[in-house]
Structure 1
Amino acid sequence: MTAADWGNILETILVVVLVIFVALGIVPVLMMAYQFLLIPFHAFRNHYRKAAPYLPNVAVIVPAWNEGAVIGASIDRLMSLEYPEGRLRIYVVDDASTDDTPDVVKAKAVQYPGAVFHLRRDVGGEGKAHTLNHGIRVVLSEDWMEALLIMDADVIYLPDSLRRMTRHLADPEVGAVTAYIREGSTEKNFLNRFIAFEYVLSQIGSRRAQNVLGALACLAGGAQLHSRFNLVDIGGAIDTSSLAEDTVTTFKTQLAGRRVVFEPYAVVLAEEPLAIAALWKQRLRWARGNVQLTKRYKDVWFRPSRMHNLGSISFGLFWFSVFLLPVLMILSSIGLIGLLLLESNLASEVFRILWVTAACTYIYTMLLASQLDPATGRSSWREAILFPGLISIVIMISALLPGFFEVVVPAWFGLHITDTGTFIWTLFTYIWISVSMLGAWLTKVVDGTRAGRWLSPLLTYVVGYGPILCAVTFDSYVKEARGAAMVWDKTEKTGRVMG
């Protein structure tokens, strides 16, 4: 064979590798579409046939550090739940608070004798899991508790939410139940509206699909209901070695052969961050916890088992399509740029396949999600439309309608597009899937400046909320690789939630 023949072979191999890189970028899109295609099957594959009216003695553990602004209202709301009198006890674990949290809780203990208890930790700051375990030791030392509800100090449970959750524990095969955490701030800014729609996608959307598969990724940290048997069987304590203690508990429950159920009609209102920096800090903790958990359960992935469905192919693809999303985005850009530089005809074809798939999935998921929670769909319709960002939407249009902008730009703006301009635009569209994460980081930086008040919302709508989440995940890789300190940062609460 001649040198030219070897060159052609190597170029063919390189093209194949680059096409595979682009194809990997399509996998998360397909997995999102697959999840939302499963949602209608939740009408048939669910746990309701095995659920029944069941009202056990429920001990509620509320970890609290400087929650004076919200803890009183949270206790009042809990005591007004549609639940039998005498079957609900609230244990507020005060993590060495320095504000008026102890005074507020003690006053509520007097107001609700025998139902509200103040547990004080003299040494605090060790993290939520340590705080929870302090309370768990207390409630397990007595025989009264039949089910344990773990919640956050600021969340508001709607009146029927707890009994909607407990009915699933009537089935002894169920170890834990979680609820739909809805963004509940009375006055929402642009970021709260994005978060509200994200929760529709990730909870009543994705978690319904996980119900169908019989494998749940995570019990919401502010809404975890465990049977006493399950709590004792997984060790009688919450894991303290990870930043994702709620996810570890979720996995332990299912690995022990018990089911975890998401109840979409049990609604819990929560206050979410107002600023991107606060959101970034919160989600970085979650993302680092997922990195730790992925390594911890490396022997579970893609290993089907009769005991649980965490090892199923579908669940593994769901998990890793999110966990590896930044990596897959970067590989996709490398593949497209490589094909462009090789002047391969495949460049434009695989680009179009990638973005047309993304566009179709985007349209379908946003429309369906808007129907899953119509109230959030109405209040966050701008955020639903611009969830991937204005730039990504323009790129989707260019993929769906090839040549559209070559016609529109001269007709509307009177500009002539040169070959160089076309190349630059093509290059930009090929790399945007990765560069969007840099745009998200820039949005975070700008958000902390004086101009952030008006510029940050604009950049978020242009760059997209989705890229912010991807950038946080990438940051979690870096922080975990560097061995950064594991700090459980508390999100500041101001009492903006009203049920």
Structure 2
Amino acid sequence: MTAALTVFFVALIVLGSLPVAAGVYQFLLIPLHAFRNHYRAAAPYLPRVAVVVPAWNEGAVVGASIDRLMLLEYPSDCLRIYVVDDASTDNTAEVVLDRAARYPGKVFHLRRAKGGEGKAHTLNFGIREILQQDWMQALLIMDADVIYRPNSLRRMTAHLADPAVGAVTAYIREGSMDPNYLTRFIAFEYTAAQAASRRAQNVLGALACLAGGAQLHSRENLIAIGGAIDTSTLAEDTISTIETQLRGRKVVFEPHAEVLAEEPGSIDALWKQRLRWARGNVQVTRRYSNLWFRPWRHRQLGGFSFGLFWFTTLLLPLLMIGASVGLLGLYVVDSSLADTLFHKTWALATGSYVLQTLMTAQLDPRTGRRSWREALMFPGVISLVIMVTAFAPVLMRQTVPDLLHVRPTTTVQHIITLCVYGWLSLSMLAAWLVKRAEKANIGPALTSLLVYLVGYGPLLCAITFDAYIKEMRGAAQVWDKTEKTGRVMA
């Protein structure tokens, strides 16, 4: 019985280490992007692009976005902007109509009489109108608040010169001119999740998701995936990405096409946004259950590497809980083996953290300089201390008790060990408590201190765990729009 329990607990610890190993593997693919990319098949190509912009109460930001689109390094006669007004109750209509008067024949205001059905329905209202005309050769889906760098669109369209490419996406950067601690965390996260991870996906030849604010589709691809955006899930951009590839067309990430976006400045707003994304990923996973790890169905999407990256991200909270259970259970059954595996797994986590942090900062030095504190504190101060204990066990046995001003008795050491072994799970609970603390109006300074202490990574894992619960309960699919204030306009 003891041997069986030992094997079980060790297996949980090994599974809990998979996301760390997968992260290292993914980042080791990134240098290959210098050799394995789509640039050889790209060429100067300037198709007629229709830009569809879903907008609900976006009066504060949509005007600047339109102005910047009209300043793109792109032929003006090859660009039309369609703003789909989702029955806004603010001055969105007035702002768009003002821009339509400034740019006659370039900007169009389409208004839905009934709104509130979500982004996908709003997009489809505009796409139906655009497809009725023969003018459009490529469709750009964007958000009302994003700002495109002047050369970004032509960098994206260059990939459509290859008829094998169905869609292209850009690098979304957090672009607030007055960032707070949370938006700096998001900026670094976006660099890791896009500039880094999507380069690795380019190498694999399978992209997980077109960025919601920067999706460029060829007309042929749009028609091939049904001439509309999926409305049955909360992950319409991921569905479009997968459907494009399942129908034999490539999806390409263009890292040098930069798009600036305003991101949530509070934990509550971030939670709502990421809960929608995480629930969408759960829905996508169920929808394509016959695809995962089946390369004979689709060589890239069904391959081992893509499936590994997808599931170690989606199941990260469960794997963290499993690792905690494994360490705590093994501590009861065989404490010396538990100690050995604890130090080995956290040493691996430390190496992965150093590798990913350095490579991410190097890929976008500007964000690295702006968010260096957040890059260092991404796992949280407590996790960093635990990482150090993997190399200096005396910290847990002597230094921590000294800091707490308690005698390092056997009981105290047991309690500290149990807390450290269970931290992967406790960190998610702590992140949820930080969210509750923010709602209790403890003040931005104390809230930020708690996030630095607990970590931004555990916060994202707690949100994903909440998504599991919401999906199991069948909670309503509410499109919680992130409030935008125009902080990117400067």
What interval of TM-score do these two structures reach, taking the shorter chain for normalisation?
over 0.9
Residue 441 of structure 2 corresponds to which residue in structure 1? 450
Does 1:183 pair with 2:181?
no
TM-score, normalised on structure 2?
A: 0.98
The answer to whether the 8 Å contact 1:446/1:455 transfers is: no
Q: Secondary structure at the match of 1:86?
A: helix
Deviation at 1:400, TM superposition (A): 1.9
* Residue of 240, 254, 259 corresponding to 1:249: 240
For residues 184 and 139 of structure 2, what CA distance do their matches in structure 1 show?
31
Please give the per-residue CA displacement for 1:275-309, whole angstroms capped at 9, x wherever unaligned.
00000000000000001000000000000047551
Within-5 A mapping of 1:17-416: 17-305=8-296, 307-406=298-397, 408=399, 416=407
For residues 284 and 267 of structure 1, what CA distance do their matches in structure 2 show?
25
For residues 446 and 414 of structure 1, what CA distance do their matches in structure 2 show?
27
The answer to whether the 8 Å contact 2:13/2:323 transfers is: yes
Deviation at 1:498, TM superposition (A): 3.1
Amino acid at match of 1:238: I
The farther-off stretch of 482-491 and 409-418 is 409-418
Q: Secondary structure at the match of 2:135?
A: coil
For the aligned residue pairs, the C-alpha RMSD in angstroms reads 1.3
Aligned residues: 490
Deviation at 1:57, TM superposition (A): 0.1
Does 1:479 pair with 2:473?
no
The answer to whether the 8 Å contact 2:380/2:455 transfers is: yes
Deviation at 1:411, TM superposition (A): 8.0
- What is the percent sequence identity of the aligned residues? 66
Q: Secondary structure at the match of 2:293?
A: coil
Residue 414 of structure 2 corresponds to which residue in structure 1? 423
For residues 359 and 262 of structure 2, what CA distance do their matches in structure 1 show?
25
For the structure 1 residues 308 and 81, does the alpha-carbon distance in structure 2 shift closer, same or farther, using more than 3 Å as the test?
A: farther
Amino acid at match of 1:179: A
Gaps of 5+ in 2: none
Q: Secondary structure at the match of 1:59?
A: strand
For residues 396 and 365 of structure 1, what CA distance do their matches in structure 2 show?
15
Amino acid at match of 2:326: G
The answer to whether the 8 Å contact 2:401/2:412 transfers is: no
The answer to whether the 8 Å contact 1:61/1:150 transfers is: yes
TM-score, normalised on structure 1?
A: 0.96
The answer to whether the 8 Å contact 1:180/1:265 transfers is: yes
Amino acid at match of 2:131: L
Amino acid at match of 1:371: Q
The answer to whether the 8 Å contact 1:132/1:238 transfers is: yes
Amino acid at match of 2:137: E
For residues 446 and 411 of structure 1, what CA distance do their matches in structure 2 show?
29
Gaps of 5+ in 1: 1-9
The answer to whether the 8 Å contact 2:291/2:298 transfers is: no
The answer to whether the 8 Å contact 1:184/1:498 transfers is: no
Amino acid at match of 2:183: N
